[in-house]
Amino acid sequence: MNAIRINVSLSRETYEGLTEEVEPRGRSRFISEAINNALTERRNRRIALEYQEAGQEIKRINADLEGTVADGID
């Protein structure tokens, strides 16, 4: 894995929780996994919203086409 070193600021409360729960040699991995999980969750929410919007668009198109399909069939 290619690693890039960054500096971040944490609230004291967050830092204390991190130091209580995670050993010093595992903090980078923990933070990286937490970020990856948050990014995956964010992407999944965005994709779900896009599917929902696409579904609404399909319903709108189908409603518009219903009248067209019935035209001239008498």
Q: How far apart are CA 56 and CA 62, in angstroms?
A: 10
**pLDDT band for position 69 (cuts 50, 70, 90):** low
The pLDDT value recorded for residue 64 is 84
First to last CA, the chain: 68
**Contact between 10 and 18 (Cβ < 8 Å):** yes
Tokens 């004291």 -> residue: 12
**pLDDT band for position 70 (cuts 50, 70, 90):** low
Q: How far apart are CA 22 and CA 30, in angstroms?
A: 8
Answer yes or no: is pLDDT of 43 > 90: yes
